[in-house]
């Protein structure tokens, strides 16, 4: 995120606070918001299409399982690209994309056939649903590669034009076909950005990123468990006897719609955290670690930078919480009025409150996990996300026997426990940051035995000698 972070820092220094917030909002939530808007407007345009429920279910399944499937690769591939670009090696960008696609495309086709092959729908609808799953999954992968070269505006532009294409196509074709066309446009624009940034070299394939799956197993596990946990509650309600069904595809409006509103309410948290992290927190983080790498810093200065980092982090989280509560609390206190305004049943009021509260804690939890990534606490992040997955699934299942008013309690309890645990891990790590930083270095003469995840340790040695004599500090 260094590229957009630089621009955001520049804007905030110049006093353009509004531009900074808008930039953070567009980059962090733009693709998701454009997709949501295109779905809502396309449904409105479709009107009374008799197959509208079927198309909506097919689109929901395609997007849900594309996110789950690509979560296996996203964090690991992002780390791999970051390492390559840090070494000024851009020659593997296209080969790595080809290597990832060699897994994603066939895997999504098989997954799509398993999901939609047995549905009692037309063959053309099955093909479109599988194609949508493949295209959407590839677009998530393209986004990683385009984001690695800091072309964030192009990502937003691609999703904006893709959403526009979906809305325009909805006038002429059905909703499913419109979304397939829209995702095709998104993919074409993202690929054109890569073509502009990187020439296609003689090397065709690169599978070195596969080794990162084992090397950074905690990072990949954390991303997969986090994404799976978010959907675990949804899937639990989908398979319950109370769920609705269309063409064999299950859905649960009472929980799904409330969760959608709750997730939409977290946009301020994501935006503000993104801005705060990429500006003030990054400056303190960089001052601490680059001071060590340069080898011209005293222990007292390191402790000063650490105190500043901790103070900025606490202040940023406080501001994020204050803003998000201003959005979430009215939704909780006036849930009945919100449901009435949206034309939804009043008896869903408690479910909406649980969904908003759960989404609120989930947003805080995800922020804490990102900070764990900053300090390369991948194993700890994976364990926390795994526990979150178990709690979310368990209480979602138990709530089916507790009654409709408890639907959504799993997300609230799971994310609350996950956030509390990850916040404590962050607190303990930052409190002893000097100890963990220097004791994590390999001993002289053991550079080739650096444990996985210790890229920092590789940088503190130059020409066979240590840049920092940490024993003398």
Instruction: Tell me the chain's radius of gyration from C-alpha atoms.
Output: 23
Specify the pLDDT at position 50: 67
**pTM (predicted TM-score):** 0.79
465 confidence band (pLDDT: 50, 70, 90): very low
Specify the pLDDT at position 251: 86
Q: Which of 163, 151, 197, 152 is nearest to 40 (CA)?
A: 163
Specify the pLDDT at position 203: 64
Specify the pLDDT at position 7: 40
pLDDT over threshold 50, residue 337: yes
Instruction: For residue 200, count other CB atoms closer than 10 A to its CB.
Output: 12
* Three-state SS annotation for the chain: CHHHHHHHHHHHHCCCHHHHHHHHHHHHHHHHHHHHHHHHHHHHHHCCCCCHHHHHHHHHHHHHHHHHHHHHHHHHHHHHHHHHHHCCCCCCHHHHHHHHHHHHHHHHHHHHHHHHCCCCCCHHHHHHHHHHHHHHHHHHHHHHHHHHCCCHHHHHHHHHHHHHHHHHHCCCCCHHHHHHHHHHHHHHHHHHHHHHHCCCCCCCCCCCHHHHHHHCHHHHHHHHHHHHHHHHHHHHHHCCCCCEEECCEEECHHHHHHHHHHHHCCHHHHHHHHHHHHHHHHHHHHHHHHHHHHCCCCHHHHHHHHHHHHHHHHHHHHHHHHHHHHHHHHHHHCHHHHHHHHCCCHHHHHHHHHHHHHHHHHHHHHHHHHHHHHCCCHHHHHHHHHHHHHHHHHHHHHHHHHCHHHCCHHHHHHHHHHHHHHHHHHHHHHHCHHHHHHHCCCCCCCHHHCCCCCHHHHHCEECCEECCCHHHC
CA angle 156, 369, 226 (to 5 degrees): 75
Specify the pLDDT at position 319: 80
The more confidently predicted of residues 43 and 347 is 347
How buried is 466 (Cβ within 10 angstroms: 0-12 exposed, 13-18 middle, 19+ buried)? Answer: middle
44 confidence band (pLDDT: 50, 70, 90): confident
Q: Express each pLDDT in 438-462 by its tens digit.
A: 776 555 544 444 444 444 444 444 4
Question: What CA–CA distance (Å, rounded) separates 120 from 166?
Answer: 25
The more confidently predicted of residues 133 and 157 is 133
Domain borders along the chain are 1-215, 234-431, 434-467
Q: Express each pLDDT in 339-357 by its tens digit.
A: 988 888 889 999 999 999 9
Angle subtended by helix axes 335-342 and 349-374, to nearest 10: 100
Q: Express each pLDDT in 280-297 by its tens digit.
A: 777 777 777 777 766 666
23 confidence band (pLDDT: 50, 70, 90): very low
Q: Express each pLDDT in 197-242 by its tens digit.
A: 776 666 678 788 888 888 888 888 998 999 899 898 899 999 888 8
Question: What CA–CA distance (Å, rounded) separates 336 from 418?
Answer: 29
Q: Express each pLDDT in 378-423 by its tens digit.
A: 999 999 999 999 999 999 999 999 988 899 999 999 999 999 999 9
Q: What is the mean pLDDT of residues 161-166?
A: 88
Specify the pLDDT at position 113: 93
Specify the pLDDT at position 138: 92
Specify the pLDDT at position 471: 38
Mean pLDDT of the chain: 79
Q: Express each pLDDT in 73-108 by its tens digit.
A: 888 888 888 788 777 776 778 888 888 999 999 999
Q: What is the mean pLDDT of residues 139-143?
A: 88
The more confidently predicted of residues 152 and 175 is 175
Specify the pLDDT at position 217: 87
pLDDT over threshold 80, residue 275: no
Q: What is the mean pLDDT of residues 363-386?
A: 90
């Amino acid at each position: 995120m260094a590229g957009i972070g630089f621009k955001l820092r520049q804007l905030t220094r110049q006093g353009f606070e509004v531009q900074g917030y808008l930039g953070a909002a567009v980059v962090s939530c733009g693709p998701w918001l454009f997709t949501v808007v295109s779905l809502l407007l396309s449904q409105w345009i479709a009107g009374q299409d008799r197959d509208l429920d079927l198309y909506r279910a097919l689109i929901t399944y395609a997007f849900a399982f594309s996110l789950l499937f690509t979560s296996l690769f996203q964090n690991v591939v992002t780390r791999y690209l970051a390492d390559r670009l840090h070494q000024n090696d851009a020659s593997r960008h296209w080969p790595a994309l080809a290597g990832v696609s060699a897994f994603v495309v066939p895997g999504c086709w098989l997954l799509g056939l398993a999901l939609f092959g047995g549905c009692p729908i037309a063959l053309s609808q099955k093909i479109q649903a599988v194609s949508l799953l493949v295209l959407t999954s590839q677009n998530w992968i393209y986004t990683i590669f385009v984001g690695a070269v800091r072309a964030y505006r192009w990502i937003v532009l691609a999703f904006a034009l893709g959403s526009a294409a979906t809305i325009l196509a909805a006038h002429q074709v059905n909703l499913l076909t419109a979304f397939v066309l829209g995702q095709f446009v998104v993919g074409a624009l993202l690929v054109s950005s890569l073509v502009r940034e990187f020439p296609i070299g003689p090397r065709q394939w690169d599978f070195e990123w596969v080794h990162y799956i084992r090397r950074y197993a905690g990072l990949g596990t954390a991303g997969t468990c986090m994404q799976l946990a978010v959907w675990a509650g949804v899937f639990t309600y989908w398979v319950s006897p109370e769920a609705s069904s269309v063409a064999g595809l299950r859905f649960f409006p009472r929980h799904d719609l409330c969760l959608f509103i709750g997730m939409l309410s977290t946009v301020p948290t994501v935006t503000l955290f993104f801005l705060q992290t990429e500006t003030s927190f990054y400056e303190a983080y960089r001052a601490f670690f680059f001071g060590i790498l340069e080898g011209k810093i005293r222990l007292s200065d390191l402790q000063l930078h650490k105190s500043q980092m901790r103070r900025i982090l606490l202040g940023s989280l406080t501001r994020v919480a204050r803003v998000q509560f201003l959005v979430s609390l009215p939704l909780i206190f006036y849930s009945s009025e919100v449901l009435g305004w949206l034309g939804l049943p009043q008896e869903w009021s408690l479910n909406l409150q649980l969904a908003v509260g759960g989404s609120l804690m989930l947003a805080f939890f995800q922020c804490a996990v990102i900070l764990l990534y900053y300090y390369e606490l991948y194993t700890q992040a994976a364990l926390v996300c795994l526990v979150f997955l178990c709690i979310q699934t368990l209480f979602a299942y138990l709530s089916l026997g507790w009654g409709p008013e408890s639907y959504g309690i799993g997300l609230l309890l799971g994310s609350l426990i996950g956030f509390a645990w990850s916040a404590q891990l962050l607190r303990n790590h930052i409190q002893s940051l000097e100890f963990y930083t220097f004791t994590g270095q390999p001993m002289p003469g053991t550079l080739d035995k650096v444990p996985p995840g210790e890229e920092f340790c590789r940088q503190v040695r130059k020409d066979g000698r240590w840049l920092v004599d940490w024993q003398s500090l």
